[in-house]
Structure 1
Amino acid sequence: MDSLWELADLVAGPHTTLNPAEAFVFGGAVIVHDLAMSRAAHSLLGGVRSRADWPDALASELRFQLRRSPHPSELAMPPEEIAARAEKILFRRAHAELAESLPLTSWKSLSGDTMYLISDPEIRIAYGRLIGEIAASHHWNYEKVTERLSAPVGAPGFAPVSWKVDSLYLACLLRTADASHLDATRSPDILAAVREISSDSRDHWIFQSRLQRPYLQNEKLCFTAPAGFSREEMSAWWLAYDTLKMVDGELKSADTLLLASGRTPFQVRGVANVQSPSAFSSIAGCHDWEPIEARVKVGDVANLVRRLGGKELYGQDWTIGLREILTNACDAVKAREALAEYRGGRRVVGRVTISVEVTEDQVWLSCHDNGIGMTSGVMGHQLLDFGCSSWLSPDTAKSTPGLIASKFEPTGKFGIGFFSVFMLGERVQVISRSLSEGPSETWILEFSSGVNKRPTLRKAAQSEQLDEPGTSVRVALDASIYAQSENSVVFRFKTHGSAFTTEGFASISDIIAYAMPAAECDLWVEEAGVPAEASPVIAKNDWVTVDGYRFLCRVLGIPEKALTDKDADPYSTLRDFAEQHKDDLSVIRDSSGLPAGRLCMVPESTRSGFYSARDSSFVTAGPARTSTRVYAAAGIAIGRPSRAARDSAIPILEPAEMAKWATREAVRLAERIAAGTLEAGDWCIDAAEQILQFGGDVGFPFWRTSQGWLTQDQLVSWMKGRTVLFVTHPVFADVRVGRTDIPASLEEGIVVYEWSHRDALWGVKDWPAVNNEYRGCTGALLRAIAEAWDVVISRVVEASAKREQEFVIGRHEGNEMRGECTVFSRSDLERT
């Protein structure tokens, strides 16, 4: 307290004289400012954990520490260490709010009397609120300080008229003095020795304990640290430098504000020796190291956004921009639904509507959702903060309390998806009304030329206001995206297969169904030139319940029209595939019972007709299609994006549940092979690879040997009677006749297996698994050898890495077929 008064006296200078009322208000603000950071102050208002924003603060810290959404039980009984961190964060966040209310807050004494910080009721009424505002203003920006505290406050009736309080001057004096209070008197070494200092606070304590009390030099505060900083204390030195630069900025801002308002400026107008790291090192020495500033900088922000928010990241496909718009809209709807459920209010039916509008000179695409909307602050800052996702930010939590504590989990996590809208066109309009505000608080953010020019943010005119909360994104489409006829608009559209991409034109409905096959809210479309109202495209989570045929047609990208027009080519083969496997599908659920996929394993023979043109399965990034496949399968697995482009994904299903599904599929295929409705063949090894990668047990034959097709158990039994094993690549075991591979008659002891990369391994090794050691068919073969010959698997692994040798693999029409083999000798492996 005394140190802060001394600093305030140094900052203001000898020309400043406070009258008794100003001295009282300033002293009260100093006390309240510090008191608001104490547990005692929070206990006056029921404790920090009884605050309305405590669930969000706790959930936010749990999400950060656990890297996932917290379970309700974790919110009810959180680990105390995490709860303590959340308390500390909420202390700081609620500091200004609490400081403003403390001077007028009462509590009961032990005798039951009502007590106040300011006991005299006349003084409390006259200055209590002002003291609170000045104490809280330390956390306001200068614009808000000017707005709230610009006019001096007159004297109350019991005081002389001259006792005016210049609240703006006192607010500037408090924030600059408090910011400058950084010397050893604030963090003495003796306190650090008796307290448990967290790693986060250590650097603060070190640098403040090294700083000597500042003195005035040429209108600037001069701090010194004669003890210097060692190499181990380098981070504390940089923190000191950055903090003093902040103090310098604070003093200069106060100086500008006071001069602009016609007031006498403080005698201190900045901080000395912070113009560069080398200047600061002259008064805060660096022992055995040099302070060279190497910061990550972005010189051309607009160019970075243009490249990484568009084609450089996502490629040339404009529908990626549409996908990102729809994903953000679905997230907004999910947020509102989750918030309503958390608050126990009326159920919200979320909806996203895409419309195409033709004007005289332009085609516009609009996406409207009835989600949580955005405040003007979020639209003007977080939305435009490239690389910063605003869904679970403190600002969003403030306007929608309870959202972070709810079950809401956004698909968008990288803070760059919005900028992909400029892949569709450079003229963009965002209209939004927050859930916490009325129609008059509808705001419009407009881009006239992409990110090349500054956008404008304005309040919506009455005719532009939204009747309910939500957001609309409107884009003037680039002419290269669409083709227009008298009655309709169609769009350029690419379908991506395993081997190549096909391009043509499609309706906006078909494109949405292709891009968002697992939509988490209702998707509707208003087509251009169609007089009827909006029509549904996909219902919320209908991928779980829609009949198998229509579901697989959606997965395969078959247009709606081709479902009924049986003569429509080239979709007949795809329709046959969907018809053949519609009843094989099963819904996969996670450990909590929620659907996490709908898949079935598929033999290659039924996929060969369209293998290069369509993929029969993929992992989604939330609701959206990605290029990540589930090999030898049909359907979808719900996933989360594995990188910022959201073109690849990892399944959300727990490894144990995925293993159970894979085992069930293996049993189904084994039953078909046993019944004679399915023939074992080369497809088996790929299906087995996928099942084993998922941690499942393969019950059908998938090992091609000189003994025929064997199961894993049969392979082990067969090898027990052998002393040597030859493993060869399929290319040496088949003869190509025309376009057909004819299997050779194999020599004794041959196993046909490809050690190298196979399609079934694309991306799968990065997925979670029950056991990551020796996964897949390679691991199964190595384990089979180790089990059959009773040797340690590490020796088998070493033998598999030895150089291959040439042997006779088999015969075809009496001719020898020679090829390279990996040789496993039982005697060599048993030798110690």
Structure 2
Amino acid sequence: MIVPLANEIVLSMPMFTNHSIEHIDALWDTASIICGDEFKINPAEAFVLGGAFLMHDLGMGLCAYPDGAEQVRSDPAYAGLLALAEERISELEPATDAEPRAKRAGEEALVEVLRRRHAERAPELLRTSFMASDGSPFYLLPDLGFRLDYGAMIGEIAESHWWDVANLREFDGPKGSRPDHPREWTVDKLKIACILRLADAAHIDSRRAPSLVRAFRRPSGTAAEHWSFQERLMRPYVQDDRLVYTSTRRFTSNEAAAWWLAYDTIKMVDTELRRVDALFADLGRPRFPVRSVAGADAPDRLADYLQTDRWHPVDARIRVTDVGKVVGNLGGDKLYGNRPDIALRELVANASDATLARASREATTPGTVTIGLSQEPAGWLLTVIDQGIGMRPETLVSSLTDFGNSRWRSADTLTEHPELAGFEPIGRFGIGFFAVFMVADEVSVYSLALDEAPRDTHVLEFTDGLAVRPLLRTAEPNERLRSAGTVVTARLRVDPRSVKGLFRNNSRRLSHTEHLHALVLPLCALSRVNIDVQGPDDARPVRLVSADDWVVISETELFDRVYRQPDDSYKRRLALDVFCKRFLQRARLLRDEDGRIAGRAMMASNWEALEGSGWYMNCVSHIYVGGLRSGTLQQSVGVFSGRPLTADRLRAFPDIDAERLTAWAESQAELLDETDPFSREILGGVARALGAKAERLPCALTATGELDVPAIHQWVAGRDLIFLVGESFHVHFRDRNKPWFISFGHQELLFSENCLILSLYPDWQFPEEVLPSPKDDRFADIELAETGWNSRAWWYDSGNFGSVGLVVRAISEEWGIDIPELLELMEPLHLEDGRDARCDVPVVGGGSEKVEMIRLQRPQPINGL
């Protein structure tokens, strides 16, 4: 009855090496080699071992599940593994259509669930009633007595082949014999479990990968490399206390990957043998005669047994000799710059992720992250507390010591917490935690996983940054957490109220508590969890931000939260008052494709506050990734929910599709009629840098004023000669909004009526990785000349969008000349090597200055045509 089930595994896992009855039969031979002639087992143990051999891999086949694929897909881990598979395929093959991608991802996820659950399935199989074609039930172990006496034992031992060796200790101690068997027929579960795991690990010879079978299955990728090395391995033999593998033929250089996979597999077998031997020695038990594998200690030694053909297996893998230095460079100030406040942001990001993960898992509202700062005799202590899912000891170590490994996108996390399949964390790169070492050397992480008792709290301690290995220990009674979550404490190197401190500010106008509140509020302004803060002067935690409240609070409260600081200067306060008033008038909501609010912002010029305060203020809206401040968007005021563009999250962009962002820019352009002319000119460029046309905003200036899109058409229509003048001078405005052009030599330039002043090289606000700047593909094959200016190359790369793009198209339309022909008419009046073709422009008071331009002369009709 077992044979059909074992032979059906190939249908579920066609790329895997042999798991059929041939593999099961070969385990007896491999076990005999490992155990030798002197290692005895009695008939009852032989029966249990044989049952475990038969059952250990049967869970890899869909036939082991009465309801087939649907039963496997109902496994809680399936959704998470499916999401990972879809993400992997999308990254590797972005052009793959959705339907075939979903199908492949489903197949991969199904196989991965079978692989991960097959050991757990083993105990169920002997208890499962299968149905014959005539409707009669049957069991894999038909005899009721043997099934009752040995079934659970066989299933448990079969499952244990995927356990860690340390967990096998629970099998120590014999099981008594059946009453109808001789009393000496006891069953040593530990011995049988170790024989199973060692035989299964060591069976890697050609019986696992028959050459003829491979020819029909045609495995690919890593699976092909498994087949390639196993098909040429001979049955191992024993030399002294070592298992020896040899190959039938040499590995060529094209088969190097397969050789290295063989090396890694043989090292795994060696590790299993050594760990079992150590376990038996610790327990004072008779040890197996085979205790290691020949050549497993070094590639060149293994090459004596698995020979190579004219290449040498030198282990040239990428290594990190000084881990602390690399992590310090890539996870500390070399990555984030002189930004100690980023350390707090990253701690809050991790805490927020854990808190949101718990809310997602339990389908509840998000909890709270609490940030504390206190002064102790040993210095200042920064604390970040979450109400998250917590971490078990093994997760605590792997998540916080494996640089670059994000726990949230790992198969292990999604298997343990399948409810997190659709969870989108802030931290995606596995580097954020290490930012804490920018500000502290002594860091302690206390964590208690969900569903565990307070006594299971564990602590991971870093006593000297990354220079010394951290210590993992069980928490003392006074350190235990009462509920699931994580607490991070960091002893700051310097006073946070110093230039190099956490606040980057040594102002004594504010207390440490005021500084802390002033830092956290704008940093976490869009937080998806509640943010509480407790400084030295706070009797209890103070709620600064409620989860996602930024979408409902007033414009004034949002503006103040993001922009105002308690120690702002008088002039800055005046400027902020101007912008706050305009924010109330012009800020608009932006929604993503799902209708969720993804921004509250307005376009604004740096110069808008001059009239009300006499103070220039740099205008940026802030982009928040996961609710925490990350990047900025120039010439705007407000907030956006965004996506990171870099691992440090110092560059980000609004998480809104391009069409909606362009529509927002278009609507903002309609609100700027009362803005000063200089700001209108600037914001026209900003709007077009976001893809808007902004017809009512200036796209060029003349000596008499600004020209919007309709006006530029009228202006062009009546002229046969046009000069396009790049803004290589200062532009100001005076009475009646008349432009005032001041050269870098401090002379007022007097441009003729045929001159259009505009930016010839417009900005493009979308990052290239989000939306590349527009290109005119008709000119993609243009080769740049070594010297000089090429109108076609200029148009292809930058001239075809922004304000200048509108102007050139207006000339094309009004003159009735196609763009390619118009570009040929462009004559550069530039300063070039050996030639100065710049125009002389008169200046007030006499004289002139040279200015670069592009001249366009409208062709005259020939013979009246």
Question: What's the TM-score, normalizing by structure 1?
Answer: 0.85
The match for 2:750 among 745, 749, 770 is 745
Aligned to 1:322: 344
Matching residue of 2:177: 155
- Hey, what's the Cα distance between the residues in 2 that align with 1:718 and 1:206? 75
2:668 maps to: 665
Alpha carbons 2:725, 2:852 under 8 Å: kept: yes
Match of 1:344?
none
Residues 799/95 of structure 1: CA separation in 2 closer, same or farther (3 Å cut): farther
Matched, 1:414 2:429: yes
Paired residue for 2:362? Answer: 340
**CA displacement at 1:492 relative to structure 2:** 5.5
Q: Which of 431, 438, 451 is residue 423 of structure 1 equivalent to?
A: 438
Aligned match of 1:808: 839
- Structure 1, 31-40 or 567-576: larger mean CA deviation: 567-576
1:579-611 alpha-carbon deviations (Å, 9 max, x no partner)? 233321111111111122221111342156798
State the Cα distance separating 1:631 from its structure 2 match: 1.8
Distance 1:336 1:78, change over 3 A: farther
Q: CA deviation at 1:290?
A: 4.7
DSSP-derived class of the 2:408 partner: coil
Sort the Cα spacing of 1:610 and 1:192 in 2 relative to 1 into closer, same or farther, 3 A: farther
> 1:140, CA displacement in angstroms?
1.5
Tell me whether 468-477 or 358-367 shows the greater mean CA deviation.
358-367
Does residue 817 (structure 1) correspond to residue 821 (structure 2)? The answer is no
* 1:461-480 map, 5 Å: 461-480=476-495
CA 779–442 in structure 1, closer or farther in 2 if over 3 Å, else same: farther
Q: Counterpart of 1:400?
A: 417
2:635 maps to what in 1?
632
Q: Which deviates the most, 456-465 or 692-701?
A: 456-465
What is the alpha-carbon distance in structure 2 between the residues aligned to residue 793 and residue 420 of structure 1? 52
Distance, in Å, in 2 between the alignment partners of 1:786 and 1:190 is 70
* Residue aligning to 1:437: 452
Amino acid at match of 1:89: E
Number of the residue aligned with 1:486: none
Alpha carbons 1:555, 1:617 under 8 Å: kept = no
Query: Which residues of structure 1 form unaligned runs of 5+?
Result: 69-73, 342-346, 484-489, 497-501
1: CA distance, partners of 2:826 / 2:263: 58
The corresponding residue for 1:690 is: 686
8 Å CA contact retained: 1:375, 1:399: no
Per-residue CA distance 1:187-230 (angstroms, 9 max, x = gap): 22332333353434222222222333333344433333344344
Secondary structure at the counterpart of residue 653 of structure 2: strand
Q: Residue in 1 aligned with 2:537?
A: 529
Does 2:271 correspond to 1:249? yes
8 A Cα contact 1:808 1:818, kept in partner:
yes
Q: CA RMSD in A?
A: 3.6
Residues 122-181 of structure 1: CA deviation (Å, up to 9, x unaligned):
222222222222222221111112x32232333222221222223223222222222222
Matches of residues 58-137 of structure 1 in structure 2 within 5 Å?
Answer: 58-66=82-90, 79-137=102-160
Deviation at 1:38, TM superposition (A): 0.9
Residue type of the alignment partner of 1:616: V
Question: In structure 1, how many angstroms separate the alpha carbons of the residues matched to 2:729 and 2:258?
Answer: 65
**Amino-acid identity (%):** 31
Could you tell me which of 726, 729, 744 is aligned with 1:729?
726
Matched, 1:576 2:602: no
Contact 2:349 2:426 in 1 (8 A): yes
Amino acid at match of 2:574: S
Equivalent position to 1:623, from 607, 621, 627:
627
Mapped contact 1:732–1:809 kept (Cα < 8 A)? no
CA contact (8 A) 2:52 2:158 kept: yes
Task: Report how far residue 822 of structure 1 moved.
Answer: 3.6
What residue number does 2:48 align with? Answer: 25
Q: For residues 513-560 of structure 1, what are the alpha-carbon distances to aligned partners after superposition, in whole Å with 9 as ceiling and x for unaligned?
A: 1322221111112221333x322212222322222223223332423x
Aligned pair in 2 of structure 1 residues 694, 104: CA closer, same or farther (>3 Å)? same
CA distance in 2, matches of 1:822, 1:281: 71
CA positional deviation for 1:635: 1.1
| SS of residue in 2 equivalent to 1:650 | strand
Give distance in 2, aligned partners of 1:696 and 1:508. 40
* TM-aligned CA distance change 1:593 to 1:719, over 3 Å: same
Structure 2: gaps (5+ residues): 1-23, 93-97, 732-739, 777-799, 832-836
The one-letter amino acid of 1:528's match is: P
Q: Is the 8 A contact 2:340 2:501 kept in 1?
A: no
2:456 partner letter: E
- Rounded to whole Å, the distance in 2 between the matches of 1:92 and 1:34 is 9
**1:44 and 1:107 in contact (8 A); partners too:** no
Structure 2 distance, partners of 1:401, 1:714, is 60
Residues 551 and 44 of structure 1: CA distance in aligned 2, closer, same or farther (over 3 Å) = closer
CA distance, structure 2, for counterparts of residue 247 and residue 53 of structure 1: 28
Structure 1: distance between partners of 2:307 and 2:827: 57
Separation of aligned partners in 1, 2:856 and 2:344? 55
Residue 39 in 1 paired to residue 62 in 2?
yes
Aligned pairs for 1:241-640 within 5 A: 241-287=263-309, 289-341=311-363, 347-404=364-421, 406=422, 408-482=423-497, 493-494=503-504, 506-531=514-539, 533-559=540-566, 570-606=572-608, 614-626=618-630, 628-640=631-643
Go from structure 1 to structure 2 and tell me whether the alpha carbon gap of 1:613 and 1:292 turns closer, same or farther (over 3 Å shift).
Answer: farther
**Gap change, CA 1:788 and 1:163, over 3 Å in 2:** farther
- Aligned residue for 1:12? 35
CA distance in 1, matches of 2:825, 2:767: 25
Distance 1:308 1:583, change over 3 A: same
Which secondary structure state, in structure 2, belongs to the residue aligned with residue 731 of structure 1?
Answer: coil
User: Secondary structure in 1 aligned to 2:663?
Assistant: helix
CA–CA separation in structure 2 for the residues paired with 1:311 and 1:731: 37
Q: Which amino acid is the alignment partner of residue 646 of structure 2? A: R
Structure 2 equivalent of residue 71 of structure 1: none
String of CA shifts for 1:61-87, please: whole Å, max 9, x gaps: 23333469xxxxx99x98222111101
Question: What is the distance in 2 between the residues matched to 1:277 and 1:10?
Answer: 24
Q: 1:636 to 1:741 in 2, by over 3 A?
A: farther
1: CA distance, partners of 2:43 / 2:199:
19
Change (3 A) 1:615 1:743: same
Q: In 2, distance between residues paired with 1:513 and 1:459?
A: 35
How far, CA to CA, are the matches of 1:522 and 1:94 in structure 2? 38
Moved more, 263-272 or 537-546: 263-272
Alpha-carbon distance, 1:761 to partner? 4.9
SS at match of 2:628: coil
In the aligned structure 1, how far is the partner of 2:323 from the partner of 2:857? Answer: 63
Q: For the residues of structure 2 that align with 1:530 and 1:273, how far apart are their CA atoms?
A: 64
**Residues paired across the two proteins, number:** 788
Q: 1:657 to 1:228 in 2, by over 3 A?
A: farther
Q: Report the residue type matching 1:617 in the other structure.
A: S
1:226/1:379 Cα in 2 relative to 1: closer, same or farther (>3 Å)?
same
Matched residue SS, 1:698: coil
Write out per-residue CA displacement over residues 716-754 of structure 1, whole angstroms, 9 at most, x where no aligned residue: 564466555433332258687699978633235433234
Structure 1 pair 581/51, CA: closer, same or farther in 2 (3 Å)? closer
Map Cα deviations across residues 73-110 of structure 1 (whole Å, 9 max, x no partner). x99x9822211110111111112211233233333444
The structure-2 alpha-carbon separation of the partners of 1:508 and 1:246, relative to structure 1 and needing over 3 Å to count, comes to same
1:709 aligned partner: 706
Distance 1:643 1:19, change over 3 A: same
Structure 1 window deviating more from structure 2 (507-516 vs 386-395): it is: 386-395
Residues 227 and 801 (structure 1), Cα distance of their counterparts in 2 relative to 1, 3 Å cut: farther
